[in-house]
Amino acid sequence: MKDYLAQIEKLRKDAAEAALIRDLATDPQKRQVFDRIASHLTVLADQVEKAMLERKTG
pLDDT tens figures, 30-58: 999 999 999 999 999 999 999 988 988 87
Domain holding 39, by residue range, is 2-57
pTM, rounded to two decimals = 0.88
pLDDT at 32: 98
pLDDT at 17: 98
Count structural domains, the chain: 1
Residue 29 has a CB neighbour count (10 Å cut-off) of 8
pLDDT at 56: 83
Around 5, how many Cα atoms within 13 Å sit in the side-chain half-sphere? 3
| Contact (CB, 8 A) for 41 and 14 | yes
pLDDT tens figures, 1-35: 788 899 999 999 999 999 999 999 999 999 999 99
